[in-house]
Amino acid sequence: MPEATLLLQFLVTGAGTGCVYGLVAIGFCVIYNASGIVNFAQGSFVMLGGVVTYSLWHALHLPLAVAALGAIIVSVALGVLTDLLVVRPLWHRRATMFVMILATLAVQIVVERLTLIVVGDAPMSLPPILSRGPIHLGPIVLDTQVAFIFAVSLLLVAGLRLFFTRTATGRAMRACSIDRDAAALLGIPVSRLVAVGFALSAAIGAIAGILVTPTQYTAYNLGVPFAISGFIAAILGGFGNPFGAFLGGLMLGITQSLATVAFGAGTRNVFSLAVLLIFLLLRPQGLLGTAKT
Amino acid sequence: MKTKLVLAALLAAVITAPAMAQTYKIGASVGLSGYAATTDTAWRDGVLMAAAALNAKGGIGGRMIEVIVEDNRSEPQEAVTAYRKMLQSDKVDIFASGCVSAGNFAAAAFVVRAQVPMMLCSILPNPPDQVKWAFSTLPPPKFEVETRLSYLKDSTQIRSFGILHDPTPYANLQATIAEKEAASYGLTVAGNEQYRQEDADLGVQLGRLNAAGARAILKIGLGGTTLTTAKNLVALGLDMPLLNSLDDVNLFRPVADVLGPRFLFVASPSQVFGAIPPGKLHDALSEFLTPWRAKYGDRDPNWASRGWDAVMLTADAVKLAGSTEGGKVRDAMEKIQGFQGTTGVYSMSSDVHYGLTENPLLLARIVDGKAQIVK
């Protein structure tokens, strides 16, 4: 395969992984906008998306679509419970943001451990959602599942744009992201929107997990790597900007892919973090964020 | 007189009670979570099962066996903490630790200073003073490589392969051996790519190996990444075979669902028990597999059988030494010859601490959900 073609192939591969990072990053942004909290339990939603879908499909023999819906419901329930049982009590006690972020990290660990106890440590995977072979675009090979991830990701991003611009709830969440105190003074129910934010980001995280599991394996401990990548992607895109976060995810996936090509897999995290540092130093507001004045 | 006798008896009871109650402590630093969870959990269960079997016969050297298990989360730093705790607090007599090579290496220096022998499921540390106290029930890493290279040479037309391995010391060692030995099998190494356990996609590495001319993948590493590799091979439309290193057969079943007969793996005798002819190995396997299957059904016995052998070798060394003292047990371990374990025949010496000197490994594939030897 000529070098240029090979490079293009790796860009496609990186972009596919980047879509998933982007969805995880959107989850970070949705909660951050509603509450100002960086939710480090976001990775557990991704993990549960894959693990619960597999468990319902494999153990209970439910159709894949029903199992996936079940996984989204479980993740949303966890998101809302995280808000009700962990975030809101701390919020009412006026805990510092640092404490709330630590609390979400604790949620991540608890969910991970509980998943280990309930389903064990065996790796799991799902069959391809579209059961046909890879698509050959000339010399480039595009996995149908990756194509599906692209399509669903773009639909989700478009849907979120509509949600944030055309619905009252979405607009209220944007108001919260600009100034929560002012939004509260205007009668916007901020705490209810925080719950909506947790539910929405949990659903997006679960969808990311469901989408990516047919291309790899999932297990109880795979939430954290996705959370780290999603967090970096969110910063690259401009923390708080869902669409920027998605672009940040694509950028991160492609960076990792190219780093692996050029310098080996051991350097992919080095390059991810190097890109993050460059952004923090030169463009801390990220790709689409606006600079604070 | 009667009172004196009663007092003497009571005194004797008081004096001997601690000795009677003293147990032979086996410490196990194992990754019950993290990337080595599947293998190390099984290793632990094999150790516990062997200890129970020996306790039913009176224990080791007249002392009942107590197994102390510490989870190192498959992380070297955690392993150091686990080892220190078992040395200083539990005062273990010997270690029977799992497959996290880096963790065993990290702790080896101070374990050696404490003069406590180590039976390991990992490769051995390099420094001579450390390897002196460490023994492994793992086959020497070259056996896993040679089993696969022999297959490529004798049973296929493939003459160029790619290596895909994780960054653990065990995998690095195998990768180095594969690069060195390929030529002697008439094979060339098209490329050598590394991955990380948490990588979401291995498509780039596989694409590079394919572009470099690899027509088969020698994968070295544990856990779910084998499944990711299989899925990525299909996604990229690559029809090359995947030859995996030793792991849990239950992890291999979904891989075989993806790749079919293109997926082959190195198997230990316990994983293909049905194909083992009657004899000493068959008998040793039966002794282990009977209680194992009664308790765990069709759970993969490979790593557990290594844990079982570690404890049985320890019992043999204590018997040879006539003592449970660490130094004497270590010396006796080096004198073990022709010990029939469930994983092969062990013969140790001062130079040989991987006791398996003849390659007991087989190449297998999954057919109808069962591991079968590839003829």
Instruction: Determine the residue of chain A that is closest to B230 in CA distance.
Output: A216
Interchain CB contact of B231 with A (< 8 Å): yes
Select from B33, B202, B204 the residue whose CB has the most chain A CBs within 10 Å, as the one to mutate to test that interface. B204
Closest CA to B120 of B104, B141, B106, B132: B104
Of B238, B267, B296, the residue that ends a domain is B267
**Same domain for B169 and B244?**
yes
pLDDT at B34: 78
pLDDT at A7: 85
SS3 B265: strand
C-beta of residue B265 within 8 angstroms of C-beta of residue B244: yes
Contacts of A20 in chain B (CB under 8 A): 200
Residue type for position B248:
D
Q: Considering its fold, how many domains does chain B have in total?
A: 2
Instruction: Determine the residue of chain B that is closest to A255 in CA distance.
Output: B204
Instruction: Determine the residue of chain A that is closest to B192 in CA distance.
Output: A264
Show the tokens assigned to B150. 């022999």
**Same domain for B147 and B134?**
no
- CA geometry: angle at B198 spanning A11 and A70, to 5°? 95
Note whether B200 contacts A216, CB cutoff 8 Å. Answer: yes
**Same domain for B118 and B205?**
no
Show the tokens assigned to B111. 């374990």
pLDDT at A105: 93
Spatial distance between the Cα atoms of A203 and B150, rounded to a whole number of angstroms: 50
- The number of residues in chain A equals 293
SS3 B141: helix
Note whether B224 contacts A217, CB cutoff 8 Å. Answer: yes
pLDDT at A98: 86
Residue type for position B366:
I
Note whether A260 contacts B200, CB cutoff 8 Å. Answer: no
Scanning A242-271 for CB atoms below 8 A from B yields 257, 260-261, 264-266, 268-269
Select from A5, A8, A11, A13 the residue whose CB has the most chain B CBs within 10 Å, as the one to mutate to test that interface. A13
pLDDT at A191: 86
Residue with tokens 């990992």: B122
Note whether B223 contacts A265, CB cutoff 8 Å. Answer: no
Note whether B236 contacts A141, CB cutoff 8 Å. Answer: yes
Distance from CA of B360 to the nearest CA of A (A): 27
Residues B201-222 have a mean pLDDT of: 93
Show the tokens assigned to B172. 């690095």
Q: Is the pLDDT of residue B345 over 70?
A: yes
Q: What is the pLDDT of residues B291-341, one digit of tens each?
A: 999 999 988 999 999 999 999 999 999 999 999 999 999 999 999 999 999
Residues B15-38 have a mean pLDDT of: 77
B57: containing domain: 2-138+285-345
SS3 B166: coil
Residue type for position B273:
F
In a domain, B330, yes or no: yes
Fold of A3-282: ABC transporter involved in vitamin B12 uptake, BtuC (1.10.3470)
**Same domain for B41 and B59?**
yes
**Same domain for B34 and B105?**
yes
Strands B188-194 and B160-165: parallel
Instruction: Determine the residue of chain A that is closest to B235 in CA distance.
Output: A143
In this complex, the residue of B167, B198, B234 whose CB is nearest that of residue A266 is B167
Closest CA to B201 of A27, A199, A225, A99: A225
pLDDT at B83: 96
**Same domain for B149 and B172?**
yes
pLDDT at A190: 87
The CATH number of the domain where B40 resides is what?
Answer: 3.40.50.2300
**Same domain for B121 and B185?**
no
Residue with tokens 């001997």: B16
B180 backbone dihedrals φ, ψ, rounded to 5° = -75, -35
Q: CB count, 10 Å around CB of B291? A: 14
**Same domain for B160 and B119?**
no
Percent of chain B with pLDDT over 70: 94
C-beta of residue B252 within 8 angstroms of C-beta of residue A235: no
- Indicate the pLDDT class of residue B19, thresholds 50, 70 and 90: very low
Spatial distance between the Cα atoms of B223 and B143, rounded to a whole number of angstroms: 20
Q: Is the pLDDT of residue B16 over 50?
A: no
DSSP B290-358: HHHHHHHTT---HHHHHHHHHHHHHHHHHHHHTS--HHHHHHHHTT--SEE-SSSEE---SS--B-B-S
Residue, of B370 and B241, whose pLDDT is higher: B241
In a domain, B103, yes or no: yes
Note whether A225 contacts B167, CB cutoff 8 Å. Answer: no
Q: Is the pLDDT of residue B1 over 70?
A: no
Q: Is the pLDDT of residue B342 over 80?
A: yes
- Indicate the pLDDT class of residue B13, thresholds 50, 70 and 90: very low
**Same domain for B189 and B308?**
no
Note whether B204 contacts A133, CB cutoff 8 Å. Answer: no
Residue, of A252 and B12, whose pLDDT is higher: A252
Average pLDDT, chain B: 91
Q: Which pTM value belongs to this model?
A: 0.81
In a domain, B188, yes or no: yes
Of B232, B267, B302, the residue that ends a domain is B267
Interchain CB contact of A134 with B (< 8 Å): yes
C-beta of residue A76 within 8 angstroms of C-beta of residue A83: no
Residues B282-286 have a mean pLDDT of: 96
In this complex, the residue of A123, A146, A265 whose CB is nearest that of residue B199 is A265
Note whether A261 contacts B208, CB cutoff 8 Å. Answer: yes
Show the tokens assigned to B373. 């030897």
Domain boundaries in chain A? 3-282
Strands A135-137 and A140-142: antiparallel
Spatial distance between the Cα atoms of A61 and A55, rounded to a whole number of angstroms: 9
- One digit per residue, the tens of pLDDT, for chain A of length 293 reads 557 788 888 898 899 899 999 999 999 998 888 888 889 999 999 999 999 999 999 989 999 999 999 999 999 999 999 999 999 899 888 888 889 889 999 999 999 999 988 998 788 899 888 777 788 888 888 888 888 998 999 999 999 989 988 999 999 988 888 888 898 898 899 888 989 999 999 999 999 999 999 988 898 888 999 999 999 999 999 887 888 999 999 999 999 998 888 887 778 888 889 999 999 999 888 888 765 54
Residues B199-216 have a mean pLDDT of: 92
Interchain CB contact of B237 with A (< 8 Å): yes
**Same domain for B120 and B93?**
yes
C-beta of residue B140 within 8 angstroms of C-beta of residue B120: no
Interchain CB contact of A140 with B (< 8 Å): no
Q: What is the pLDDT of residues B172-198, one digit of tens each?
A: 999 999 999 999 999 999 999 999 888
pLDDT at B15: 46
Contacts of B225 in chain A (CB under 8 A): 217
**Same domain for B244 and B256?**
yes
**Same domain for B61 and B9?**
yes
Interchain CB contact of B180 with A (< 8 Å): no
What CA–CA distances, in Å, run from A254 to A232, A247, A257, B198? 13, 11, 5, 17
Contacts of B254 in chain A (CB under 8 A): 123-125
Residue B109: CB partners within 8 Å, gap ≥ 6? B127, B130
